[in-house]
Chain A
């Protein structure tokens, strides 16, 4: 194939331009390495921008008893003890510094009366812990990182899609990508690659995720030999919009409940008192989402199949000040004034806890030179993520993956990419445009979402999961024969081909993980195994792609050292135990 290909060489190549990717790139560039970032969208538009409620960090600005031990404790408990404790510990210890660093780079958080960074309560956080800017914290975070990045010598490639990672022997060697505007190819050779491409919530129809959440980086790395873990753990956020149809799934921030919003069923009952009498609306997301689901199933749902969320008792001024985005969103999209009326919410796919299996300190995957951070990586959140822990995750582990890649690159030679592999991949990528007939990527995406909704949703069981797997394998076969009409010029149908292929691969992994885990734990709720099976031992299900397909194996969860394990033996959060002792 003869066409102009752009060739680039970098020390560190970051794929993904959300919070984790930008933070990784900043770290590598500040360390003096030649660094590039690739993003599927324009800079600053990545899914991070949609995060609303806040970034969790035990700053202790409003609750001085808070500290890393309590944040660690809350994270491990909400993850149902299948998180990597080392990641949870690093995360709890380092997130305050990462938040303050953002302030130093120009982020402007809401303030306490004393002039410190304000912190709000959130589900299953023992203390008020989420630093925030109204209900647009993700935007503040990504904008600040974007603005910091612009001060550094980093090459930013916007609207470019990576389709394959290359290897030189065992180690990663770089990738090939195409520009979305005109379809021309670029080959990036790099000593180290950081995957920071986010989650794959778009495998589901009702989701709070933006179009980009198609799991590209995780799928590319999986094909390149990296391992996945905890794929069955997919988070339903309890409160998505239910109406109008086009807005179904759009997020209603947990901040509404954090600021005092209450949930009621169609009979006016505050049903969370049943499911978690202590924490009620501020229970963990898996519990609240299941609570709403159970109410709807029992015939106590709202007109569009959800629950009522009511914050009117806080008054219009308070609501507009604390939740301006929610006020505006419900008013413009659903004609509901949340200062005057309750509104409907229902669970929506929000976050993929599983992903690439990484080393806690560095974000290293099982492929030498390949690192991962953020939603595409597994380990921190276990079976259920705490609200606010994803923004702190991308800061803490984005930085660590950037540093890990930098250290690797410093001691590595520039790898070689095999020209024949480049040619073969270009042919594969262009094939859908050349086909005169074939499957429609939009149609296959819909079918994929149908399978996921019907077989591996909030409630799961063995036979349905097996049937789903069967359908998914048939679908995966069909995704090899998609056709894209039109040219290489900004062609969403063509772009969709690769999104669908990536999501189908990861969706099969979700099904396989859910089949393997014969228990209910966190986000995994199996009606045929309704309890946590502690006697089987706590495990992570790890997946690897081989010539024969996906292989799943259980790996014991890393055991906490005694001093960390002791934090859980008092039956109360460390911060509360300490303050009780003082009193």
Chain B
């Protein structure tokens, strides 16, 4: 194991910036966030990085490490032996400063999702197998790495046409709740733009929680929209049978 590692960290704000190199003493089991904390304490006290729990529970420390969207607290430095570790802010959101980006768009969209509308009062009777799927979705830590990597948002900046994987998963957990009576299909087809996803599964690959975003969330939502809007007769039959 080397004694020292080199990090090249983006420093800048909305007016621009560049990477700056820092040397950090190597420690066993160190994660990239540890290295950034060392830099803050010794070299650059104003280095901006968002973090909270340092245990991969909160989803605050999202960034791009050597080009891959990752959580800083969960990425081991010893995965990069012999390399310079390049740390940059998430690409798909405006930079506030250094590694901190403005993710407020995600919260705006979350607020626009019609909430849970239960059919009955609690306590509910629900079987575990009926909630396994939505528990998978509710394991999301809102790190927005999926939003960052989604090429519809990243390469095409089509935030006005597609709300992105995180929002699809939020809608999926409501739509698939056995006791929810809400209907978000029109929203999905329209403003939320589920049709914009063309199933490249990049979101699933980067999800630090291992949520099968595309296969378990987005594709079933696409099917629901297709059933109702592109198979109107079948949709009507199903509606009447509900």
Partner of B127 from A111, A143, A251, A328 at Cβ < 8 Å? A111
When the two chains form their complex, are residues A245 and B28 in contact, meaning their CB atoms are under 8 A apart? Answer: yes
Per the 8 Å Cβ criterion, residues 387-439 of A in contact with B are none
Query: Which residues of chain A are within 8 angstroms of B123 by Cβ–Cβ distance?
Result: 100, 103, 116-117
Are B127 and A139 within 8 A (Cβ)? no
Q: Is B138 on the interface with A (CB-CB < 8 A)? A: yes
**Measured CA separation A328–B110 after assembly (Å):** 28
Q: Is B27 an interface residue (CB 8 A)?
A: yes
Among the 9-residue stretches B40-48, B156-164, B188-196, the one with 4 or more Cβ atoms under 8 Å from chain A is: B40-48
- Residue pair A442, B142 in contact (C-beta under 8 Å): no
Does A355 have its Cβ within 8 Å of any Cβ on chain B? no
Closest 8 CB pairs of A and B: A244-B29, A486-B46, A493-B45, A106-B116, A115-B125, A490-B48, A104-B122, A246-B34
| Cβ-based interface call for A578 (8 A) | no
A493 and B60 within 8 A (CB): no
Selected interface stretch from A43-51, A281-289, A472-480: A43-51
Contact A136 B57 (CB under 8 A): yes
Extra A-B contacts (7), CB below 8 Å, given A134-B135, A334-B29 = A100-B123, A103-B124, A147-B115, A246-B29, A333-B31, A446-B41, A492-B46
With contacts A44-B142, A486-B46, A490-B97 taken as known, whether A50 is within 8 angstroms of B55 at the C-beta atoms is yes
Q: Does A53 sit at the interface, judged by CB under 8 A?
A: no
Bound CA–CA A516/B46 (angstroms) = 40
Chain B, residue nearest A101 (CB): B122
Supposing A110-B128, A147-B116 touch, asked if A245 and B27 sit within 8 A by C-beta, the answer is yes
In the complex, whether A210 has a CB less than 8 A from a CB of chain B is: yes
- Interface flags for A137-157 (1: CB within 8 Å of B; 0: not) read 011100100011011000000
B29/A325 in contact, CB under 8 A:
no
Given A50-B53, A325-B57: A247 and B29 within 8 A (CB)?
A: yes
Enumerate chain A residues within 8 angstroms of B48, measured Cβ to Cβ: 489-492
Distance in Å from the Cβ of A249 to the closest Cβ of chain B? Answer: 9
Whether B134 lies near A108 (C-beta < 8 A) is yes
Asked if A250 is an interface residue, CB under 8 A from chain B, the answer is yes
Contact of B40 among A45, A116, A138, A493 (CB under 8 A): A493
Show the binding face of A for B, using Cβ within 8 Å: 41-47, 49-50, 100-101, 103-106, 108, 110-111, 114-118, 133-134, 136, 138-140, 143, 147-148, 150-151, 158, 181, 210-212, 243-247, 250-251, 325, 328-329, 332-335, 440-443, 446, 484-487, 489-494, 496
- Taking CB atoms, residues of chain A closer than 8 Å to B131 are 108, 111
Shortest distance from the beta carbon of B55 to any chain A beta carbon, whole Å: 5
Q: CA A316 – CA B233 in complex, angstroms?
A: 47
| Residues of A with C-beta under 8 A to B45 | 440-442, 484-486, 491-493, 496
B13 within 8 A of A: yes
- Tell whether, in the assembled complex, residue B58 and residue A181 are in contact, meaning their CB atoms are under 8 Å apart: no
Do A210 and B40 contact each other (CB < 8 Å), given the known contacts A181-B96, A489-B13? Answer: no
Contact between chains at A442 and B41 (CB < 8 Å)? yes
CB of A322, distance to nearest CB on chain B (Å):
12
B234 located at the interface, meaning its Cβ lies under 8 Å from any Cβ of chain A in the complex: no
When distances are taken between beta carbons in the complex, the residues of chain A under 8 Å from B118 are 104, 106
Complex: A492 Cα to B58 Cα, angstroms: 18
**Roughly how many angstroms separate A446 CA and B58 CA in the complex, as a whole number?**
24
Docked pose: A433 CA to B216 CA in angstroms: 50
- Say whether B97 contacts A250, CB under 8 Å: no
- Chain A contacts for B241, CB-based, 8 A: none
Chain B residues with CB under 8 A of A116: 123, 125
* B29 engages A494 (CB within 8 Å): no
State how many angstroms separate the Cβ of A197 from the closest Cβ of chain B.
Answer: 14
Q: Does B239 contact A (CB under 8 A)?
A: no
> A42-B60, A251-B55, A493-B40 known; A244 and B30 CB under 8 Å?
yes
A257 to chain B, nearest CB (A): 19
**Contact, CB under 8 Å: B52 / A246:** no
Q: Identify the closest chain B residue to A325 (Cβ).
A: B57
Tell me if B64 counts as interface (CB < 8 A to partner A). no
* Contact status A111-B58, CB under 8 Å: no
Q: Is the CB of B55 within 8 A of A329?
A: yes
Give the contacting residue for B135; candidates A108, A212, A492; CB below 8 A.
A108
Counting CB contacts under 8 A, is B229 at the interface?
no
Give min CB distance, A241 to chain B, whole Å: 9
Chain A residues, Cβ within 8 Å of B29: 243-247, 333-335
Cα separation A157 to B34 with both chains bound (whole Å)? 28
- Residues on the A chain within 8 Å of B52, using CB: 41, 45-47, 49, 210-212
Q: Does B50 contact A (CB under 8 A)?
A: yes
